[in-house]
């Protein structure tokens, strides 16, 4: 991808520097290259290899995990950026920055997919809630690194990186009836750093601040949509949740809710299944979806400061229609199946019981809580200044678990015949 030195400014390259984020040491890499490397070489990123994407991590070798999904999103996003620059040469999105954003976009997700996220949000409701995107922000700015002192610290992320992963900007306190799609109330300083203003909603001139995204965030979000709308179909087919007769039956059940174009797309899917070439055809479809993307200039309170907010990504209606169709097929025929619902329920049960036990032990009335978490986490929780702060540290620990680690922790705490003094925790 051809670089344009003028597209990014000093405002974009500035990195967070505070008590939790140390001064960077300049080297041969750009700050965005450093961002990418700092995420890639962390346990938080590696743990994605054992976190559920659609099917439980470890079920079979070839199903996607959060890690393979993040890698695929990064590559699709870079292809989108290359495509967009062909029509607007001045819009040179930095590939290292884009890759860093895509690598980071899911690191805040807990074990067991959306079931785990719902469980933690319910349990954390009295203490500020839990949201995967907000947790990503917290990891990047507060907990991604272990310090020599035993404390946790942030990676000193650039403003452009933080803005790129910041899909949601509404605070937990302002969420209204929404159960999710918020950031934590104590992240207002991070939001202020990203935009240089505390009054984002008023200055953005939009009623919903969650809809105000940088160019890189828009590209990442669209790449995410393309990846799981295509690849969940592939994994669902391989896992035999999608079958021609069931898909044809589903099409008839939908009736008039499907338009002529969507029925044509279903015919194409049925043809792929009949010819057993669904994977190769989905790979080719990604290129067609990317070709349906374009840029439209826009003006707002940030365009005087950064080119990253000077464009809106537009997707052709037929491409958006196909993505919506694939999502609905996956929702109804894969995620909605009894088999996956049972596994999801069990994962949520495991995480809920773990969380309730830890919260009872550390937030209850006892003056000497048992050491139910690793020693560093135990010490940090005991030293925390308030109950909400202790709850947040416990939530960090729980949400950082992989599926397998959560299952092992559950058995160690609740299965009488399981456990060993030599087992790592």
Is residue 5 very low, low, confident or very high in pLDDT (cuts 50, 70, 90)? Answer: low
Split at pLDDT 50, 70, 90, the class of 22 is very high
**pTM given for the model:** 0.94
When pLDDT is cut at 50, 70 and 90, the band that residue 149 belongs to is low
Q: Residue 3: its pLDDT value, please? A: 43
- Residue 63, pLDDT > 90, answer no
| Cβ pair 112, 52 in contact under 8 A | yes
Specify the CATH number of the domain 10-192. Answer: 1.10.3210.10
Which residues have C-beta within 8 Å of that of residue 251, sequence separation ≥ 6? 258, 263, 266
Query: Domain segments of the chain: what residues?
Result: 10-192, 216-335, 339-412
Q: Is the pLDDT of residue 322 over 50?
A: yes
- Picking from 41, 82, 47, 62, the residue whose alpha carbon sits closest to that of residue 234 is 62
Name the pLDDT band for 366 (thresholds 50, 70, 90): confident
For the segment 49-74, the average pLDDT, to the nearest whole number, is 77
Average per-residue pLDDT for the chain: 91
Residue 425 pLDDT greater than 80, yes or no: no
Q: Per-residue pLDDT averaged across 265-283, rounded?
A: 93
Task: Show the 3-state SS of 357-419.
Answer: HHHHHHHCCCCCCCCCCCHHHHHHHHHCCCHHHHHHHHHHHHHCCCHHHHHHHHHHHHCCCCC
Task: State mean pLDDT over 167-193.
Answer: 92
**Spatial CA neighbour of 138 closest among 125, 154, 126:** 154
Range with top average pLDDT, 137-141, 169-173, 192-196: 137-141
What pLDDT, on the 0 to 100 scale, is given for residue 2?
A: 45
54 has pLDDT over 70: no
For the cut 80, the answer to whether the pLDDT of residue 207 exceeds it is no
**What SS3 class is residue 295?**
strand
Its sign, for the CA torsion 17, 299, 135, 124, is: positive
DSSP state of 423: S
pLDDT of residue 4: 47
List the single range of 169-178, 201-210, 393-402 with lowest mean pLDDT: 201-210
Residue 1 has pLDDT above 60, yes or no: no
**300: pLDDT strictly greater than 50:** yes
């Amino acid at each position: 991808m051809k670089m344009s030195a003028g597209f990014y400014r000093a405002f974009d390259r500035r990195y967070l520097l505070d008590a939790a984020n140390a001064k960077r040491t300049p080297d041969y890499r750009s700050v965005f290259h450093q961002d990418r490397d700092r995420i890639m070489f962390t346990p938080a990123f590696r743990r994605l290899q054992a976190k559920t994407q659609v099917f439980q991590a470890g079920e079979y070798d070839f199903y996607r995990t959060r890690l393979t999904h993040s890698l695929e999103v990064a590559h699709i996003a870079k292809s989108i950026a290359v495509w967009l620059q062909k029509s607007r040469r001045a819009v040179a999105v930095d590939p290292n920055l884009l890759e860093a954003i895509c690598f980071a976009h899911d690191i805040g997700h807990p074990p067991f997919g959306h079931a785990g996220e719902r469980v933690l949000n319910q349990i954390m409701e009295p203490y500020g809630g839990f949201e995967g995107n907000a947790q990503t922000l917290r990891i990047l700015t507060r907990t991604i690194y272990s310090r020599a002192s035993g404390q946790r610290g942030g990676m000193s992320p650039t403003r452009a990186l933080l803005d790129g992963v910041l899909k949601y900007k509404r605070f937990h306190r302002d969420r209204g009836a929404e159960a999710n799609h918020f950031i934590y109330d104590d992240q207002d300083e991070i939001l202020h750093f990203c935009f240089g203003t505390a009054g984002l909603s008023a200055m953005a001139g939009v009623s919903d601040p969650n809809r105000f995204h940088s160019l890189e965030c828009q590209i990442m979000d669209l790449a995410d949509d393309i990846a799981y709308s295509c690849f969940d179909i592939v994994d669902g087919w391989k896992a035999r949740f999608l079958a021609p007769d069931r898909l044809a039956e589903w099409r008839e059940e939908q009736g008039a809710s499907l338009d002529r174009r969507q029925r044509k797309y279903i015919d194409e899917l049925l043809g792929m299944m009949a010819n057993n070439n669904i994977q190769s055809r989905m790979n080719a479809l990604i290129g067609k979806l990317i070709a349906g993307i374009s840029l439209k200039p826009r003006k707002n309170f940030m365009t005087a400061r950064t080119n990253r907010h000077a464009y809106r990504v537009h997707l052709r209606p037929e491409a958006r229609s196909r993505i919506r169709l694939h999502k609905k097929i996956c929702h109804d025929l894969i995620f909605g199946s009894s088999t996956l619902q049972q596994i999801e329920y069990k994962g949520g049960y495991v995480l809920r019981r773990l969380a309730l036990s830890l919260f009872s032990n550390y937030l209850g009335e006892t003056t000497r809580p048992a050491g139910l978490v690793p020693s560093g986490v135990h010490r940090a929780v005991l030293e925390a200044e308030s109950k909400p702060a202790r709850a947040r540290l416990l939530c960090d620990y729980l949400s950082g678990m992989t599926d397998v680690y959560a299952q092992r922790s559950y058995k160690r705490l609740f299965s009488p015949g399981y456990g060993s003094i030599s087992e790592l925790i």
